[in-house]
């Protein structure tokens, strides 16, 4: 009896390690450090079907058919990420938009240095670290002559491009009003969040536990 | 390696039956472990090197062989569920507790670049804004930058903004008060001028304090900006300050004359001079007149300031005369004449501007090409006004003189002793009569030639044999002579001189390295004319000494233990 108890205790402790072991992967929703996206994840309810999807691309997507049908149904897709991957995704969607390869600077409104732009947009103070200009579409937020957030009408649906993925990382997400602005443009708390970034077995396991917990509750 | 080590440890425990054999085995393995550990520590602490992968693999092998030997001995205890579960739980809990120390939240091989999460504060844009304010004070009223810096820097930047506001205000009031002094002296109101002068001195005091405070705070902010923009700001601020200081200095000279004036003076006077064009390098005399409402003859002194010179001239019968010689190339000369007054007449200050006959030299030059090869000719095309002008082209300490007029094309040979950096080419036209001199400073970046460097090295470096490195160095099939060749292997540097395009050297073996890829950098150091070339080659090291190391250790241990057991058996016999 005692040995069974000890065995189950050791098994439990292994699971505990997996749950509490810090996830250090960039853009991981379970990473509570500066590079994670836990604040962003916690500020929304990640649901499996919503009319708003936030897509962060740090890797290339090859199959875009689900996104095309999703957009043609009249839904909103908010896209951000590494500009090379976003440009590749936009090309596959046949959207006439592109993210320029230069990093924008602003001498007048900035946080720490001129590459981390601060924008005042209708009572919101937003921070765009290392932003690129979005070329094409209708500008929503402009810095000088360049747009950092733009939207594009795609059939019945809408694509919104946020030109820097660092908009979402913990270090900057709560620094100013990035969260409030994102809630304003999504208009809902229930969104679908998809992050294409480097995946670790640890975060996959944590995701599995999360799903299990949601299923039970 | 860990698995192999464990297998070795367990099998040796099974095979070796006799306890003394087991003792030899475990002692030798233990000593090898200690040697490896000391090598790692030495390389880390004394030589400040990263330990080699070979070392790490070897220690994993020997240490696991060492541990597994004991584990096999006490396998019964470990097979007990309670003990195993206890050990497992302890390892898990300890690793969980200490996890934040070995897995910091922000350091990962695939993490974002450090500047994204730890941005370096930069005050360069702030200084650009300060410069904008100083050069164009109306910008101060406009919107300030919306900048977030670390709180201490933000405090200083706000202080500097406020102080710049004060600096601008005081500069305006200095200008204003000095104008008031001028007007009151022009109208002959000396007492009012004295009052304004006292105010002017106070304002200079204030602006000096503000300037010193600004300098103190910007020195702190300047640490976070590019040095050029910071120096530019300091230069512009000091220039502004000196401008206002000079205004006060001028009035100091004027007012020192007026202190002595008696109270009886009451008639205002007017100053006039004959307006002529001042010729260059010739002395001419300028005649001045003093007039008043009454036909009294005016006597006394005038204080004249022109071209950085000041003179006291006597006035006799309303007239004064002063010589002027123009020696600097200027378009116009400003002359300030102060009549210091006497017991009848009031003082007066008047400024005149006279034109000169000086013509400024126009020089347009173009370099073809701007990046010439060393030893080649540089074509300088251009235009200069005037006939037979002397043109001097100089580069470092080498210069050449030409006589040109109108459109010209000259050829300037580029010296050999240059490197591939930026040089200033000074093109000077000497003055001629009333034609002024002019200097143009152009940039040239000389190009050097690329030589070929070929290095041959053996694929394998078997230690203790030396390594032979040889090679060729040539340009366009012409071998280069007496060129220094440097060879870098790890922290060691070897030097060899190439003769007739060939070089060859032998590198002494490195005993500390067991096995691995060795990168060798070979660098040529030609003096001038050719670029420095770097070639990277590599070789595989096999240290044969390792093969001999184990038997030696084993033999030493064996002899040592045998002697001890012999000694014991002798004691037993006795």
pLDDT digits (tens, 9 = 90+) for B185-240: 877 778 888 899 999 999 999 999 999 999 999 999 999 988 889 999 999 999 99
d(CA B99, CA A23): 11
Task: Tell me if residue B33 falls in helix, strand or coil.
Answer: helix
- What is the mean predicted confidence (pLDDT) over B120-133? 90
Nearest CA to A109 out of A127, A97, A94 is that of: A127
Residue of chain B whose Cα is closest to the Cα of A110: B147
pLDDT at A168: 93
> B225 to chain A nearest CA, in Å?
10
Choose between B564 and B4: higher pLDDT.
B4
- Cβ separation of B81 and A129 shorter than 8 Å? no
Task: Choose the closest CB to A22 out of B81, B88, B99.
Answer: B99
Residue B88 is nearest to which of A10, A114, A166, comparing CB atoms?
A10
Residues of chain A neighbouring B92 (CB-CB closer than 8 A): 10, 13-14, 16-17
Kindly identify which residue of chain A lies nearest to residue B153, measuring between CA atoms.
A112
Kindly tell me if the per-residue pLDDT of B572 is higher than 70.
Answer: no
Tell me: pLDDT of A1 over 70: no
Give yes or no for a contact between B236 and B135, defined as CB atoms under 8 angstroms apart: yes
Dihedral angle sign, alpha carbons of residues B167, B168, B171, B172: negative
Does the beta-carbon distance from B116 to A3 stay under 8 Å?
A: no
Rounded CA separation B155/B328 (Å): 48
* Residues 166 through 195 of chain A touching chain B, CB cutoff 8 Å: 166, 169, 171
Angle in degrees, 0-180, between the axes of helices B190-221 and B124-135, rounded to the nearest 10: 170
End-to-end Cα, chain A, rounded Å: 31
Cβ-based contacts of A16 with chain B (< 8 Å): 92, 96
Nearest beta carbon to residue B85 from set A9, A22, A107: A9
On the question of pLDDT at B519 being above 80, the answer is yes
**Cβ–Cβ of A20/B96 closer than 8 Å?**
yes
Please indicate whether residue B103 or residue B172 has the higher confidence score (pLDDT).
Answer: B172
pLDDT at B107: 45
* Spacing of C-alpha B423 from chain mean position: 18
Q: Are A58 and A51 spatial neighbours (Cβ–Cβ below 8 Å)?
A: no
Percent of chain A with pLDDT strictly greater than 70? 95
Strand pairing report for B423-429 and B438-444: antiparallel
Q: Which pLDDT score, from 0 to 100, does residue B43 have?
A: 65
- B116 with A166: Cβ contact below 8 A: yes
- Over its C-alpha atoms, chain A yields an Rg (Å, rounded) of 19
Contact A25/B110, CB-based, under 8 Å? yes
Find where tokens 């050999």 sit. Answer: B416
Residues A112, B106: C-beta atoms closer than 8 Å: no
Q: What is the pTM of this model?
A: 0.56
Query: Whose structure tokens read 């990962």?
Result: B108
Which chain A residues contact residue B99 at CB under 8 A? 17, 20-22
Residue A160: predicted pLDDT: 94
What is the DSSP code (8-state) at residue B112?
P
Mean pLDDT of the residues in chain B: 83
**Could A114 and B125 be called an inter-chain contact, meaning their C-beta atoms sit closer than 8 Å?**
yes
- Identify whether B267 is preceded by a cis peptide bond (ω within 30 of 0): no
CA distance B566 to B574: 13
Q: How confident is the model at residue B427 (pLDDT cuts 50, 70, 90)?
A: very high
Can you say whether residue B443 is alpha, beta or left, with left for phi > 0 and alpha for psi between -120 and 50 degrees?
beta
Chain A nearest-CA distance from B244, in A, is 30
Q: Which residues, in sequence order, are bridge partners of residue A128?
A: A117
What are the Cα distances from residue B499, in Å, to B415, B479, B482, B503? 25, 9, 6, 6
CA B41 to chain centre: 38
Contact B92 A14 (CB under 8 A): yes
Which residues of chain A are within 8 Å of residue B117 when distances are taken between CB atoms? Answer: 34-35, 169, 171
Does the pLDDT value for residue B321 go beyond 60? yes
A96 pLDDT exceeds 80?
yes
Q: Do A108 and B99 touch (CB under 8 A)?
A: no
d(CA B177, CA B184): 10
Contact in structure between B59 and B36 (CB atoms under 8 Å):
yes
Average pLDDT value for residue range B90-105: 62
Contact B100, A22 (CB under 8 A): yes
| pLDDT at B157 > cutoff 80 | yes
Once rounded to an integer, what is the mean pLDDT over residues B19-25?
78
Integer Cα distance of A87 and B420 in angstroms: 40
Task: Confirm if B93 and B35 have CB atoms less than 8 A apart.
Answer: no
- Could you tell me which residue, B264 or B370, shows the higher pLDDT? B370
> Around Cβ B315, how many Cβ atoms within 10 Å?
23
pLDDT tens digits along A188-202:
889 999 988 876 667
Strands (E), B274-375: 283-292, 300-306, 309-315, 319-325, 332-339, 348-355, 363-368
Backbone dihedral angles phi then psi of residue B395, each to the nearest 5 degrees:
-135, 120
Region class of B341: left (phi > 0), else alpha (psi between -120 and 50), else beta: left
* Mutation to test the B interface, candidates A4, A24, A143, most B Cβ within 10 Å: A24
What's the confidence (pLDDT) of residue B534?
87
Greatest distance between any 2 Cα atoms in chain B? 148
The tokens describing B32, both together, are 């090898």
The pLDDT of residue B514 is 66
Supply φ then ψ for residue B408, to 5 degrees: -140, 155
Average pLDDT over residues A152-158: 91
Picking from B84, B116, B223 by the largest number of A CB atoms within 10 A of its own CB, the best residue to mutate is B116
d(CA B386, CA B507): 68
CB contact under 8 A, B105 and A7: no
* Angular region, B145: left φ>0, alpha ψ -120 to 50, beta rest: beta
The pLDDT assigned to B547 comes to 66
Sign of the alpha-carbon dihedral angle for A53, A57, A63, A64: positive
Q: How far is B107 from chain A (nearest CA, A)?
A: 7
Q: Pull the structure tokens for residue B182.
A: 């001028």
Question: Cα torsion at B550, B554, B556, B559 (round to 10°)?
Answer: -160
Nearest Cβ partner of A116 from B82, B119, B150?
B119
* A112–B149 C-beta distance less than 8 A: yes
Nearest CA in chain B to A113: B122
ipTM above 0.85, yes or no: no
Rg (CA), chain B: 44
Exposure string over B390-407, b if 16+ CB within 10 A, otherwise e: ebebbbeeeeeeeebeee
Asked if pLDDT for residue B102 goes beyond 70, the answer is no
Stronger pLDDT, B566 or A168, i.e. the higher one: A168
**Residue A24 contacts B, CB cutoff 8 Å:** yes
B112 φ, ψ (degrees, to nearest 5): -70, 160
Provide the CB-side half-sphere exposure for B286 (13 A, CA): 25
**Is there a contact between B32 and B69 (Cβ–Cβ < 8 Å)?**
no
The label of the residue with tokens 């460097």 reads B453
In angstroms, what separates the C-alpha of A83 from chain B's closest C-alpha? 15
User: Per the structure block, which two tokens stand in for B258?
Assistant: 């007026």
Q: Which of B506, B493, B445, B498 is nearest to B475 (CA)?
A: B498
Would an 8 Å CB–CB cutoff place A13 in contact with chain B?
yes
Question: Cα torsion at A64, A65, A68, A71 (round to 10°)?
Answer: -100
pLDDT-derived band at B574 (thresholds 50, 70, 90) equals very low
CB neighbours (10 Å) of residue B50?
8
Name which of B265, B273, B361, B370 is nearest B315 in CA terms. B273
Contacts of residue B95 in chain A, CB cutoff 8 Å? 17
Per-residue pLDDT band at B430 (split at 50, 70, 90)? very high
Mean pLDDT of B409-435: 87
What residues of B are in contact with residue A144 (Cβ under 8 Å)? none
Nearest to A6 among B86, B110, B149 (CB): B86
Count of alpha carbons within 13 angstroms of residue B273, beta-carbon side: 24
Residues of A in contact with B111 (CB under 8 A): 24, 26, 35
Predicted pLDDT at B569: 54
B245 phi-psi bin (left φ>0, alpha ψ -120 to 50, beta other) = alpha
Chain A residue at shortest CA distance from B100 = A22
Give residue B573's pLDDT: 44
Cβ burial, residue B340 (10 Å; 0-12/13-18/19+): buried
Is B81 in contact with A13 (Cβ distance < 8 A)? no
User: Does A158 score more than 80 pLDDT?
Assistant: yes
Q: Summarize pLDDT for B478-514 with one digit per residue, the tens.
A: 888 888 899 988 778 889 998 888 999 888 887 666 6
Cβ distance B390 to B430 under 8 Å? yes
Chain B positions with Cβ closer than 8 Å to A: 81-82, 85-86, 88-89, 92-93, 95-96, 99-100, 103-108, 110-112, 116-117, 119-122, 124-125, 128-129, 143, 145-150
Instruction: Give the per-residue pLDDT at B52.
Output: 60
Identify which has the larger pLDDT, B240 or A30. Answer: B240
**Which pLDDT value is given to residue B109?**
44
For the ranges B65-74, B324-333, B412-421, which has the lowest average pLDDT?
B65-74
Instruction: Give how far B49 is from chain A: nearest CA, Å.
Output: 28
pLDDT in tens, B245-258: 998 988 888 888 77
- Minimal C-alpha gap between B104 and chain A (Å): 8
Contact B105 A107 (CB under 8 A): no
pLDDT for residue A191: 92
Domains, in order of start, for chain A: 28-216 (3.40.50)
SS3 B405: strand
E strands within B65-180?
146-148
CA distance A72 to chain B (A): 35
Average pLDDT over chain A, rounded to an integer: 87
Residue scoring higher pLDDT (B9 or B522):
B522
If you count residue pairs, one on A and one on B, with CB atoms under 8 Å apart, how many are there? 117
């Amino acid at each position: 009896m005692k040995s069974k108890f000890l065995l189950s205790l050791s098994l439990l402790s292994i699971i505990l390690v997996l749950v509490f072991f810090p996830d250090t992967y960039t853009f991981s929703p379970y990473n509570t450090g500066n590079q994670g996206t836990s604040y962003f994840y916690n500020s929304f309810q990640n649901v499996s079907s919503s009319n708003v999807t936030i897509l962060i691309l740090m890797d290339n997507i090859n199959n875009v058919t689900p996104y095309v049908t999703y957009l043609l149904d009249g839904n909103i897709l908010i896209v951000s990420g590494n500009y090379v991957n976003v440009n590749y995704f936009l090309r596959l969607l046949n959207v006439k938009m592109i993210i320029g390869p230069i990093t924008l600077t602003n001498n007048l409104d900035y946080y720490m240095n001129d590459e981390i732009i601060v924008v005042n947009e209708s009572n919101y103070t937003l921070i765009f670290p290392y932003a690129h200009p979005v070329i094409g579409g209708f500008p929503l937020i402009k810095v000088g002559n360049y747009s950092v957030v733009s939207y594009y009408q795609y059939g019945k649906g809408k694509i919104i491009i946020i030109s820097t993925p660092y908009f979402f990382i913990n270090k900057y997400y709560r620094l100013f009003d990035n969260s409030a602005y994102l809630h304003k443009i999504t208009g809902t708390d229930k969104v679908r969040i998809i992050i294409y970034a480097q995946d670790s077995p640890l975060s996959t396991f944590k995701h599995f536990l999360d799903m299990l917990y949601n299923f039970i509750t | 390696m860990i698995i192999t080590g464990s297998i070795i440890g367990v099998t040796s425990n099974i095979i070796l039956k006799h306890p003394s054999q087991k003792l030899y085995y475990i002692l030798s393995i233990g000593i090898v472990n200690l040697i490896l550990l000391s090598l790692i520590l030495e390389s880390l602490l004394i030589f400040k090197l990263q330990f080699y992968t070979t070392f790490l693999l070897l220690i994993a092998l020997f240490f696991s062989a060492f541990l597994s030997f004991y584990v096999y001995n006490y396998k019964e205890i470990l097979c007990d569920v309670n003990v195993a579960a206890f050990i497992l739980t302890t390892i898990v809990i300890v690793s969980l507790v200490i996890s934040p120390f070995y897995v910091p939240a922000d350091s990962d091989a695939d993490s974002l670049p450090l500047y994204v999460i730890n941005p370096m504060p930069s005050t360069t844009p702030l200084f650009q804004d300060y410069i904008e304010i100083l050069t164009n004070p109306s910008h101060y009223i406009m919107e300030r930058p919306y900048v977030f810096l670390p709180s201490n820097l933000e405090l200083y930047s706000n202080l500097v903004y406020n102080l710049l506001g004060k600096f601008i205000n005081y500069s305006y009031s200095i200008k204003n008060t000095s104008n008031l002094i001028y007007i009151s002296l022009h109208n002959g109101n000396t007492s009012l001028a004295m009052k304004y002068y006292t105010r002017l001195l106070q304002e200079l005091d204030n602006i000096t304090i503000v300037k010193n405070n600004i300098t103190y705070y910007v020195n702190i902010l300047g640490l976070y900006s590019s040095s050029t923009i910071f120096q530019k700001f300091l230069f512009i601020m000091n220039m502004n300050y000196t401008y206002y200081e000079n205004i006060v200095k001028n009035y100091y000279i004027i007012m020192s004359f007026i202190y002595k004036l008696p109270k009886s003076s009451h008639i205002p006077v007017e100053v006039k001079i004959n307006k002529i064009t001042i010729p260059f390098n010739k002395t001419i005399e300028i005649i001045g007149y003093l007039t008043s409402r009454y036909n009294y003859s005016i006597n006394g002194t005038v204080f004249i300031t022109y071209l950085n010179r000041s003179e006291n001239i006597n006035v006799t019968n309303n007239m004064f005369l002063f010589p002027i010689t123009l020696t600097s190339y200027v378009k116009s000369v400003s002359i300030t004449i102060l009549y210091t007054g006497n017991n009848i007449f009031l003082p007066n200050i008047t400024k005149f501007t006279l034109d000169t006959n000086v013509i400024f030299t126009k020089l347009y030059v173009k370099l073809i090409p701007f990046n010439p090869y060393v030893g080649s000719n540089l074509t300088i095309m251009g235009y200069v006004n005037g006939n037979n002008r002397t043109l001097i082209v100089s580069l470092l300490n080498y210069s050449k003189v030409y006589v040109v007029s109108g459109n010209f094309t000259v050829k300037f040979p580029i010296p050999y002793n240059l490197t591939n950096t930026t040089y200033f080419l000074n093109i000077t036209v000497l003055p001629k009569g009333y034609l002024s001199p002019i200097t143009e400073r152009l940039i040239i970046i000389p190009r050097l030639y690329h030589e070929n460097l070929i290095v041959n090295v053996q694929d394998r470096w078997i230690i203790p044999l030396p390594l032979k490195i040889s090679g060729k160095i040539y340009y366009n099939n012409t071998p280069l002579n007496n060129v220094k060749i440097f060879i870098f292997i790890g922290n060691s540097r070897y030097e060899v001189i190439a003769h007739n395009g060939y070089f060859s050297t032998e590198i002494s073996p490195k005993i500390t390295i067991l096995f691995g890829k060795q990168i060798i950098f070979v660098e040529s150091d030609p003096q001038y004319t050719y670029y420095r070339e770097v070639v990277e080659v590599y070789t595989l090291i096999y240290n044969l000494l390792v093969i001999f190391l184990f038997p030696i250790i084993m033999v030493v241990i064996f002899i040592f233990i045998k002697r001890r057991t012999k000694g014991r058996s002798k004691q037993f016999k006795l």
